Amino acid sequence: MLLEQEPRLRELRVFDLHLSSWLEELKTGPVQVTPIQGDVTQAHQVAAAVSGAHVVIHTAGLVDVFGRASPETIYKVNVQGTQNVIEACVQTGTRFLVYTSSMEVVGPNVKGQPFYRGNEDTPYEALHKHPYPQSKAQAERLVLQANGRKVQGGLPLVTCALRPTGIYGEGHQIMRDFYLQGLRLGSRLFRAIPASVEHGRVYVGNVAWMHVLVARELEPRAELMGGQVYFCYDKSPYKSYEDFNMEFLGPCGLRLVGTRPLLPYWLLMLLATLNALLQWLLRPLLLYAPLLNPYTLAIANTTFTVSTNKAQRHFGYEPLFSWEDSRTRTILWVQGSTQ
């Protein structure tokens, strides 16, 4: 999207632990595209990649709520890695840093309190026990605290954090997993979450667009935007996690069985807890990491939606993709993802 939407772009460096093969296809245009294979936990690699950059968009992260990685690894990547990016900007003189934070920095919290169509200023007790939201909250704090630090050359660092809600769209592996699970169950999925639980979702293209806009506007609007957080939002409808997924899985031939959860919450929590116990017991032998665990069940069962226009007010954000377009693109991706 940077290549399509940023006319002043001269070089795009992509620093990642795992470089995707499609990056090679981006090299055909006038802008220099420089893939750099590296680890954000290695400060020297980050500094080398950042050196000379005008803006850094730091979106690398270990997104794990399924117990695949240890809490230490999650911390190392998400917190230490972010600290490395900040120090690299300071040491090499890069003045503008955009960080991909997350709704989970706010909630749902450990008390399962709903966050109903809240905004960046809504009071909410952001208490977390899980390593992932804890790491995102710590990383976001580091980024915002770094705003105003003097970088090499004596000018101030300007930072900003974006908080996407549940991202959907092309490349959403969880959506693909649900689709494959439904196919295995005779083109059916069974409702586990009440339809009344609203979950915020945002299309990946609009998340990317907000990042491009912030990267562009952070310099001219440094006074206003520096040290700020912005929820990523668009016109995606407020629905339960499962009903929202059915917007895409329905047209792909699946149906959601049940107008209310087929199993009571206590039984689902028992099954989730058994999954967590099994994961612990099997860990020395193999990785067992199902979607259902006590944390994911609690998150799925807690309303968390945003209603805000701060990004529009501060830097003129309007979604680049309509709901209809986002939906069509996601359906096409799901349909193509199993071929």
Ligand X SMILES: NC(=O)c1ccc[n+]([C@@H]2O[C@H](COP(=O)([O-])OP(=O)(O)OC[C@H]3O[C@@H](n4cnc5c(N)ncnc54)[C@H](O)[C@@H]3O)[C@@H](O)[C@H]2O)c1
Ligand Y SMILES: CC(C)[C@@H](O)CC[C@@H](C)[C@H]1CC[C@H]2[C@@H]3[C@H](O)C=C4C[C@@H](O)CC[C@]4(C)[C@H]3CC[C@]12C
Q: H/E element holding 267?
A: helix 265-282
Q: Tokens 């959601």 sit at which residue?
A: 256
Is 104 a binder of ligand Y (CB under 6 A)? Answer: yes
Is 134 a binder of ligand X (CB under 6 A)? Answer: no
Is 305 a binder of ligand Y (CB under 6 A)? Answer: no
Distance CA(24)–CA(37), nearest Å, equals 13
- 3-class SS string, 100-144: ECCHHHCCCCCCCCCEEEECCCCCCCCCCCCHHHHHHHHHHHHHH
CA distances from 138 to 102, 122, 143, 182, 210 (A): 11, 19, 9, 37, 22
Is 272 a binder of ligand X (CB under 6 A)? Answer: no
Is 183 a binder of ligand Y (CB under 6 A)? Answer: no
Q: What are phi and psi of 99, to 5 degrees?
A: -115, 135
Is 300 a binder of ligand Y (CB under 6 A)? Answer: yes
Q: Which does 263 bind (CB under 5 to 8 A by kind): ligand Y, ligand X, none?
A: none
**23 vs 65 by CB, closer to ligand Y:** 65
If you count them, how many residues does the chain have?
A: 339
The catalytically annotated residue of 99, 116, 124, 132 is: 132
Distance CA(14)–CA(11), nearest Å, equals 10
Q: Which residues ranging from 237 to 266 are in contact with ligand Y (CB under 6 A)?
A: 241-242
Per CB under 6 A, which region of 10-18, 84-92, 268-276, 280-288 contacts ligand X?
Answer: 10-18
Q: Is 132 part of the annotated catalytic residue set?
A: yes
Shortest distance (Å) from residue 302 CB to ligand Y: 9
Is 61 a binder of ligand X (CB under 6 A)? Answer: yes
Q: By the criterion CB under 6 A, which residues form the site for ligand Y?
A: 63, 65, 102-104, 166, 174, 192-193, 241-242, 291-292, 296-297, 299-300
